[in-house]
Structure 1
Amino acid sequence: LDAEKKKPKQRTPEEQEAIDKLNELKKQKKTMISILRGISIRIPMMIFGANIDADKEITLRNFVNLVDEKSWNEFMPPGVTKELFKKFSKYYDAEVFVEAGLKIRRKAKAADKSSSVKERVMKIADIFATFKNPDKETVLTPWKVVNRHLIETLGGESFFDEKFEYALHDGENTRLYTKPNITKNSLMNSDSKVLEINSKSGLYPLLACYNIYRQRVNEFRASVSNEVLSREKHFELWEQTLRENIFVIAKTPMAKTISERTLRGYNDYDTNVVYYENIMTDVKTQRENILDKIQTMFNKGGEKLKFDVVIGNPPYQEMDGGAQASAGPIYQNFVRAAKAMNPKYISMIMPSRWYVGGKGLDDFREEMLNDLHLRELHDWLTPEDIFPNTNIRGGVCYFLWDANYDNSRNLTRVITHEKNKIIADLMRPMKVNGLEIFVR
């Protein structure tokens, strides 16, 4: 508009009105593009987990019906209802949407035909690498972070180089990192029962399963004089590991199907993946009974489940009904619930705000500072190295809790990371000079 070149005082009322309308249209366009981007980022992972045959089309119309209401609200941006999605669907190319969905699911099905279990794990990880995390969110824990977190706390086989800078290729051997008295009792033990307490992608149990499977392969080879095992035998041992060692809790039905797809693909393998509808409430109010509830869900024919290892990335916050849609932390309740299960080991990743402050975190901070079993704490001063494009004030951390460790005698190992480098690695007490905060 020529009127835009004029100074505001020189414009006629009609010109100013036209400029205001144009600015409003620009603002609306920007908002619509932002909403469309937020929706589009989330769709691929939901299609990956859709409970539908790999060769059946997912259209703009039936996509909405494939996702239950709770999962929709969990995975989609706030305020994007199914009705709003239907209105925005006209901006998508229907044929491109269908073809993109088929491509994702065919990749997942092709992974099932891999020549080895290791190759399948790599292909599934490659699929997830194409899924983008929404800005400022931690919906998806990157495969690199899953590897770094578990390998640095529990040990095992990693699909990354020593510095976790690049992923290994199919022809390269995985990197074994053994932690004395920990690895052989946790992720590389064919008797271990591992629970992920809040799965969205299934990548945590995927890596845990691979490590236990590798141990099972070694044991089987030793029993048959190290003879070469067939592809079928390898995948049979993988299925056995899924059935006997890996347990997964999801807080939405869609997270359940995504995790199942990650672990078994389109194969008819038995998996222990359950949707726990009220877990957000129960970790707060029913912690002492949560193990009994989980036992019932997995229903192992009366067998009393004893989890050896609890791992994962718990939800960080939930809306608490406070002023201006304030959010309260929830991750501390998942840590407490894990401890209530009396495992041998716990390793979780979470925000670091509990060190000094945080809404409702005073009691949790006191518990952590005085917990004799806190063996290791990895403190990340630069959280964007873990979750890019996020703003997690105070940083993030992951820890190793060991039921047989006493830090009153042996202290806690605190490793400080900054910009992907270790800047401090100390054996130290959690509490310093009687202070009621954790001093970095």
Structure 2
Amino acid sequence: MADVYQTLYNPDVLSCLANLSNDEVFTPPEVANRMLDLLPQELFRSPDTTFLDPACKSGVFLREIAKRLLVGLENEIPDLQQRVDHIFHKQLYGIAITELTSLLSRRSVYCSKYPNSKYSVSYFENPSGNIAYKRIQHRWKDGKCAFCGASKTEYERGEELETHAYEFIHTIRPEDIFKMKFDVIIGNPPYQLATGGGTEEKKSATQARPVYNTFIEQARKLNPRYISMIIPARWYAGGMGLNQFRTDMLNDKHITKLVDYINSKDCFQGVDIAGGVCYFLWERDSTCEECQVTNISGTSVTTEVRALNEFETLFVRSNKSIDIIKKVLHKSNRFMPEIVSSIDTFGIPSKEKGHSVKQPGDVELLHSKGYNDQEIGYLSRDMVKKNKDLIDKYKVKISIMVPQGGEVGIKPENGYRSISTPQIVPPGQVDSFSYLNIGFFDTEAEAKGLISYVSCKFVRFLLRSTYSSVHVSKDNFRFVPLVDFKKTWTDEKLYEYYELSPEQITLIEDTMRPMILEGGDE
């Protein structure tokens, strides 16, 4: 009995499952333990501490908690079987997200998928133990679920398929699930669900709605002493329907620790999550103006104590970027969002390719072709739905996508680009939704000046400090100063003007790779 978890732990099936790529990402045991390390360790020495995982997949959190309690309560409850029974019956609770994960979680925790069987390390009268699963139906309103926003066409399903209507967030009274209070709520909730209704050209932006925020909001309703969850970092700056959640998180004085992984692979081996992931510690009985923020990138780890809401509606994830941004804000009072267009400048969808033969009165349409190519088509000026006054300007465009899927797989020592190669869109030519236009000018010289400016490592470093997804938007330019584009800009001029220290210059030079303007992308 004493060695039951050790014998299951090596080789660890949960480590194997954690490497499966899925939106419902399995948590590796080592990550679960790093999250448990954030908690006061005396919690594991009390027979009265109660724990809830509201999104059980593999049962790893409950299993790792059990291992700590088995050691921590050894003096309090010397008899091993009594200690096991007390922990599993009185301290550990979970809510599985599917029927399959309920069985997997019970197998991980009780060593039997049915804890009322003779194989369970702790016997229960019921087949679920304290790891509940109930098939829940979505509550449809106008084609969407009123609780999670899931699409009725996607998730109104027969008995043979999972509904993914997670019990914890499909109730207005989560306290009624177990009818008890919890000291700690910890887990790795599902990240998003398809909402349906997205147009083809905006599919990636509109087809999936986050649900992890709803798990956190429900956990707060239960008012536990501690909350810790691991979630995508996209909430820092963007995300569908996350504006209020972001505001609440950045201004929540109970968040005392935040651990940030810029590259999700540093946390979940082999899993790409655009914008990285983070986990946090929320403490009910502690309020503070500043939070301990830890950045992890490869083998580099930095920790600073700072305010989450320092920049109001956006969280700057990099501790090392803060002082550089402050110098920029001190010396500048106008910034690039004044001239950068909102996405979809001309109201032309990405799927629009125009026609191949130019007709009288047509404008040229620059559109994407395949993965990383573009070509020219033609369309009537009447098909330009927005900003017709900008058609005859010189425009500078970049892709709306961060290069290479958010540069997730880039080795830090090779440097980052932040943006695709900027390109001039001449008068009489427009572009589709695939591109972001970052300036409009009467002269080609000014357009070239902007290209020289945004190609500087300094500018692209400021841009990157705001990224938390694969998309580039107007708001990502919020720290980029607006300058005179009749001049040619270099990093040396910018470093000198903003009085950057040698250490800050080295940071930028080591983080960013040069932008190659002649001959296209590197």
TM-score category of the 2 structures, normalised to the smaller one: 0.5 to 0.7
Aligned-residue sequence identity (percent) comes to 31
- Cα root mean square deviation, aligned: 2.2
CA contact (8 A) 2:251 2:308 kept: yes
Does residue 351 in structure 1 map to residue 237 in structure 2?
A: no
User: 1:133 maps to what in 2?
Assistant: 19
**C-alpha separation between the residues in 1 aligned to 2:17 and 2:193?**
24
1:130 offset after TM fit, Å?
4.2
**More deviation in 358-367 or 413-422?**
413-422
Letter of the aligned partner of 1:198 in structure 2? A
1:115 offset after TM fit, Å?
5.2
1:391 offset after TM fit, Å?
2.1
User: 1:438 maps to what in 2?
Assistant: 315
**C-alpha separation between the residues in 2 aligned to 1:378 and 1:132?**
19
Task: String of CA shifts for 1:360-394, please: whole Å, max 9, x gaps.
Answer: 11010001011111111001112111112222111
**C-alpha separation between the residues in 2 aligned to 1:215 and 1:320?**
45
**C-alpha separation between the residues in 2 aligned to 1:220 and 1:406?**
34
User: 2:63 maps to what in 1?
Assistant: 206
User: 1:286 maps to what in 2?
Assistant: 171
Q: Structure 2 residue aligned with 1:403, among 263, 284, 295?
A: 284
CA contact (8 A) 2:189 2:231 kept: yes
Large movers: runs of 4+ above 4 Å: 281-285
Task: String of CA shifts for 1:228-259, please: whole Å, max 9, x gaps.
Answer: xxxxx424412321111000101212111111
User: 2:307 maps to what in 1?
Assistant: 429
1:294 offset after TM fit, Å?
3.6
1:342 offset after TM fit, Å?
0.7
Q: In 2 relative to 1, CA 203–138 (structure 1 residues): closer, same or farther, beyond 3 Å? A: same
Larger Rg: 2
**C-alpha separation between the residues in 2 aligned to 1:285 and 1:378?**
28
Q: In 2 relative to 1, CA 387–403 (structure 1 residues): closer, same or farther, beyond 3 Å? A: same
Q: In 2 relative to 1, CA 328–420 (structure 1 residues): closer, same or farther, beyond 3 Å? A: farther
1:141 offset after TM fit, Å?
1.2
Q: TM-score, normalised by structure 1?
A: 0.58
Q: In 2 relative to 1, CA 257–283 (structure 1 residues): closer, same or farther, beyond 3 Å? A: closer
CA contact (8 A) 2:193 2:211 kept: yes
Secondary structure of 2:74's counterpart equals helix
**C-alpha separation between the residues in 1 aligned to 2:77 and 2:223?**
30
Does residue 116 in structure 1 map to residue 6 in structure 2?
A: no
Normalized per residue, the structure richer in helix is 1
Letter of the aligned partner of 1:259 in structure 2? S
Task: String of CA shifts for 1:140-189, please: whole Å, max 9, x gaps.
Answer: 211222122222x21xxxxxxxxxxxxxxxxxxxxxxxxxxx221x3332
**C-alpha separation between the residues in 1 aligned to 2:25 and 2:215?**
16
Q: TM-score, normalised by structure 2?
A: 0.49
Secondary structure of 2:27's counterpart equals coil
Does residue 257 in structure 1 map to residue 103 in structure 2?
A: yes
User: 1:311 maps to what in 2?
Assistant: 186
**C-alpha separation between the residues in 1 aligned to 2:310 and 2:68?**
37
User: 1:272 maps to what in 2?
Assistant: 130
1:214 offset after TM fit, Å?
1.6
**C-alpha separation between the residues in 2 aligned to 1:216 and 1:142?**
25
CA contact (8 A) 2:95 2:168 kept: no
User: 1:320 maps to what in 2?
Assistant: 195
**C-alpha separation between the residues in 2 aligned to 1:116 and 1:235?**
13
Letter of the aligned partner of 2:174 in structure 1? I
Is there any run of 5+ residues in structure 1 with no aligned partner, and where? 1-113, 155-181, 222-232, 296-304
Normalized per residue, the structure richer in strand is 2
**C-alpha separation between the residues in 1 aligned to 2:226 and 2:18?**
31
CA contact (8 A) 2:44 2:73 kept: no
Secondary structure of 1:377's counterpart equals strand
- How many residue pairs get aligned? The number is 272
Q: In 2 relative to 1, CA 357–311 (structure 1 residues): closer, same or farther, beyond 3 Å? A: same
CA contact (8 A) 1:249 1:273 kept: yes
CA contact (8 A) 1:140 1:201 kept: yes
User: 2:41 maps to what in 1?
Assistant: 183
**C-alpha separation between the residues in 1 aligned to 2:86 and 2:184?**
18
Secondary structure of 1:337's counterpart equals helix
